[in-house]
Structure 1
Amino acid sequence: MQATLIAIQQYCSVHEIESNFVDSLADEGLIAITVVEGNSFVSEEQLQDLELYTRWYHEMGVNTAGIDVIRHLLDRIRHMQMEISHLRARLHLYEGL
């Protein structure tokens, strides 16, 4: 199955941002850009993240380095929440003995 690609130029036009913003996200390693016949695309799987980063940038004025920090911290929070849930489950198991 072939992944659906969204043209970066079209995405930027719709969201009223400059394409160098998307390029800087790629430089930070936040998204991957696919180049086909000289045109840049982003996969549909990354669209949700790209829209989130665009909102942070456009509405809140967060630069790409800040976006990377926020994403990293949110990933750590999710990981810690999963670990807490796992530890609570283990605690309930031992409390039941």
Structure 2
Amino acid sequence: MSTQRYIRIQEFARFHQIEESILYEFDDFGLIHLYHRTDGPCISDDDVQDCERVVRLFRDLGINKEGIEVIVRMRGQIVSLQQELRSLKSLMEQPHRRSDQSV
């Protein structure tokens, strides 16, 4: 059984050279999820990559929170559609394998 690991936002902010307040804003806006633990607000290991993506869009590309929200939502839709496409391709290939084996 694996346990969930967390990184404190102070560490995340220092590593990425951003203000902690922007992480609170992203959380309030729903772009990231902060976990409020006894040792302070944290980001789960599972969410670090998404948080880094949001920070890059904001800091490096200068995209505002509303724009990031659209990008994150569209990216989620693309990932979902890619998974669905892989699943459908897999289903379509199955009958071909069966017909190839019977020849």
Q: Report the TM-score range of the alignment, normalised by the length of the smaller protein.
A: 0.7 to 0.9
Superposed, 1:85-96 pairs within 5 Å as 85=86
Match of 1:13 in 2: 14
Q: 1:45 to 1:83 in 2, by over 3 A?
A: closer
Between the two proteins, the alignment pairs up a number of residues equal to 97
Structure 1 position 29, deviation (Å): 2.0
Match of 1:67 in 2: 68
Asked if the contact 2:31/2:54 (under 8 Å) is kept, the reply is: no
Match of 2:49 in 1: 48
Asked if the contact 2:5/2:45 (under 8 Å) is kept, the reply is: yes
- 1:23 and 1:56 map into 2 onto residues whose CA distance is 16
Cα RMSD (Å) of the superposition?
Answer: 2.4
Q: Secondary structure at the match of 2:18?
A: coil
> TM-score with structure 2 length normalisation?
0.73
Q: Radius of gyration: which is bigger?
A: 2
Q: Any gaps of 5 or more consecutive residues in structure 2? A: none
Percent identity, aligned pairs only? 26
